[in-house]
A and B are shown apart, each in its own frame.
Chain A
Amino acid sequence: MNSIISDIRETARQLLADGKVDVVIGYEKGSLPLKATPCFVRSPQDADKLIWDETCENNLAAFATKTAGKKAIVAKGCDSRALVVLMQENQLVKDDLYVIGVSCQGVIDKKKIEAETGEILEAIIAEGKLSVKGIACDKEFNFIDVKDATCQTCRYPNPVIEDIHIGGSVEVPQQTVAFADVIEMENRTDSERQAYFQEQMKKCIRCYACRNACPMCYCSECFVDCNSPKWLTGGVDRAENLLFQAGRVLHLAGRCVDCGACSRACPQGVDIRALNRKLTKDVSEMYHHEAGISEEVKPALNVYSADDPEAFLVKE
C-alpha cells in the first residue's frame, strides 16, 4: 500500500471522527479487475475501504451535487475543475465541501486492454506496468500505452482547488499544439466529417450513460426525458442520436472540463469527446474562456461582450 492511500484513509478517518464532514466520497476496489467504484464513507472505521490508483476513473464531482450534507471529496485535477464549475453555477456550497486533492497520472482505458486480451480476469498494476490475465491471452502493458485519451492531453493533472493535498504533484506535460485532435478533424472535408460522425452515431444506443457520468449534467429533467415538448422519439435513429449528442454538447459549451467521463462510460465506444473538444476549442478561441479554472470568472455563455465575433451571420 502506498503512502497516498494511507494518507487518504487517515484524512478521511480524521474528518469523520472530528465530525467535520458527514460523508467522504472516494473510490473503493470494484468487483471487476481494473475497475474502481465510487465509495461513500460515513464512519471512521470504514475509511480503510478507500483506495487510490490508476483505475479511479469516475468523476466524483458528479456525486457531489447528489449527496446531501457536508462532504469531503477525493478530487483529481478534472474533478476539482468540475467542482469549480458546479460552485459557479450555485450547485454546491463551498462551506459544505472539503476537497482532498490528489494529483493524477491519468487513468487506464480498460477498453484498450480488453481489445487485446478479451475480458480481463486478473490484473496487477506495478511501477508503470500492467500485467493482465485475459480470457483470450495474457499480456504486459506499459501504463503510458493504455492511458485514457483524455489523460494523454490533460493540462490539469493537479487539482485547481483543494483543502488538503495528498502525495506529490504531477508535472504538466508540455503540448506542442493545443487541440491537435480537433484541428485534425477540422482539416478533413465536410463529407469526411459527416461520414465519421454518422458512423459514430450509428453505434450510440442512447443509454444515456454519458449523461449520467457527467458532473455537469445535473438538470432535474433532461431534455431527453421531457414529454412536452417531446424532443426525441423513443426509437434509436442515427440522426436522432446526433440530435441528442449535439444538444448535450451545446448544453455543455463553456462548461465541459474535459474529464472524459462520458467517453469512458460509453458502452459502445462512441467518440463523444470529439464533439465536446470541438466546442471547448471554440469557446477558448472565441471567448477566451476555460471551464473550471477560476471561481471568479463567469461561465462563457453567462456573459457577453459587445465585440464578440459575428462570422456566423448571413451575408445579406
Chain B
Amino acid sequence: MIMAESQVNVSQPETNEFKPKIAAFLCNWCSYAGADLAGVGRIQYPASIRTIRVPCSGRINPLYVLKAMANGADGVLVSGCHPGDCHYISGNYVARRKFALIQSLLKHVGLEEGRVNFSWVSAAEGGRFAEVVKGVTERVTALGPNNGVFKVADGGGTDE
C-alpha cells in the first residue's frame, strides 16, 4: 500500500484529475500472488488499488465491501482463485453465492454498476491482474467519486 502511494507521487505529477481509490480484497493464494507476479514481471497498471490481503475469497464478509465504501473508497475489487482452484477446496464456491447476492442487492439499492467488482485471478495470471485493475480503474474513474449511497459523512470516525 505504501509502495503504491509513493509510486503515484513519483510517476504521475499532481493534477486535478480524479484518481480513484479502490479497495482491493485479494485472496492470499491466487490473486495476491497474481498481483505479485504482475509486479515481478514489471507489468504496468494504475496505482489506484489499495491491497488488502485475505486468506481466501470465502473470508470476505459482505460488510467489508460496504464498509470500504462507507469509509470513502471510490471502488471495490474483490478477487479470488478460479472456481475449482481454491486452496481450501470450496471457499470460493461458497463465496460465489455471496458475491452474486451482494452485487444484485447493491444494484437494487441504486449503487452504480462498476463500483463494486468481482473477479477470479490465478497466481499465474499477472498480465490478467493488470488488465482487471486497468478495467476497474477505468470504470470507477468514469463513474467519478463515491457518490455517497454508502459513504458516511464522518465514516473516518470508525477507523480502527
Chain A residues within CB distance 8 Å of chain B:
185-186, 190-191, 193-198, 223, 228-233, 235, 237, 239-240, 242-243, 246-247, 249-250, 253, 275, 278-279, 282-283, 286-287, 300-302, 304-306, 308-316
Q: In the complex, are the beta carbons of A304 and B97 less than 8 A apart?
A: yes
Q: In the complex, are the beta carbons of B100 and A286 less than 8 A apart?
A: yes
Instruction: List residues of chain B with CB within 8 A of the CB of A310.
Output: 83, 96, 100
Contact with A along B146-159 (1 / 0, CB 8 A): 00111111110110
| B-side interface residues, number (CB < 8 Å) | 49
Q: In the complex, are the beta carbons of A314 and B118 less than 8 A apart?
A: yes
Q: Which of B62, B94, B100, B117 contacts A311 (CB 8 A)?
A: B100
Of A240, A286, A314, most B-chain CB atoms within 10 Å: A314
How far does the alpha carbon of A263 sit from the alpha carbon of B63 in the complex, in Å? 22
Q: In the complex, are the beta carbons of B128 and A243 less than 8 A apart?
A: no
Q: In the complex, are the beta carbons of A223 and B63 less than 8 A apart?
A: yes
Of B109, B112, B118, B134, most A-chain CB atoms within 10 Å: B109
Given A223-B63, A242-B150, 18 more contacts at CB 8 Å?
A: A194-B111, A233-B158, A239-B149, A239-B152, A243-B63, A243-B70, A250-B102, A275-B108, A279-B105, A287-B97, A302-B94, A304-B93, A304-B97, A306-B93, A310-B83, A313-B119, A314-B135, A316-B136
How far does the alpha carbon of A78 sit from the alpha carbon of B123 in the complex, in Å? 47
Q: In the complex, are the beta carbons of B63 and A233 less than 8 A apart?
A: no
Chain B residues within CB distance 8 Å of chain A:
62-63, 66-67, 70, 83-84, 90, 93-94, 96-113, 117-120, 128, 131-132, 134-136, 148-155, 157-158, 160
Q: In the complex, are the beta carbons of A194 and B158 less than 8 A apart?
A: no
Of A191, A233, A304, A316, most B-chain CB atoms within 10 Å: A316
Q: In the complex, are the beta carbons of B118 and A313 less than 8 A apart?
A: yes
Q: Which of B105, B118, B151 contacts A246 (CB 8 A)?
A: B105
Q: In the complex, are the beta carbons of B107 and A190 less than 8 A apart?
A: yes
Q: In the complex, are the beta carbons of A246 and B109 less than 8 A apart?
A: yes
Cβ of A304 to closest chain B Cβ, rounded Å: 4
Instruction: List residues of chain B with CB within 8 A of the CB of A223.
Output: 63
Instruction: List residues of chain A with CB within 8 A of the CB of B150.
Output: 239, 242-243, 246
Q: Is the interface of A mostly helix, strand, loop or mixed?
A: helix
Q: In the complex, are the beta carbons of B119 and A316 less than 8 A apart?
A: yes
Instruction: List residues of chain A with CB within 8 A of the CB of B108.
Output: 185-186, 193, 275, 278
Given contacts A301-B98, A316-B119, contact A194 B63 (CB under 8 A): no
Cβ of B3 to closest chain A Cβ, rounded Å: 23
Given contacts A197-B110, A306-B93, contact A312 B99 (CB under 8 A): yes
Q: List 10 A-B contacts (CB under 8 A).
A: A194-B111, A198-B149, A239-B153, A246-B105, A247-B66, A308-B93, A310-B100, A313-B118, A314-B117, A314-B136
Instruction: List residues of chain B with CB within 8 A of the CB of A191.
Output: 110
Q: In the complex, are the beta carbons of B97 and A242 less than 8 A apart?
A: no
Nearest-neighbor residue (CB-CB) of B98 within chain A:
A301
Instruction: List residues of chain B with CB within 8 A of the CB of A278.
Output: 104-105, 108
Instruction: List residues of chain B with CB within 8 A of the CB of A232.
Output: 158
Given contacts A313-B120, A314-B132, contact A306 B83 (CB under 8 A): yes
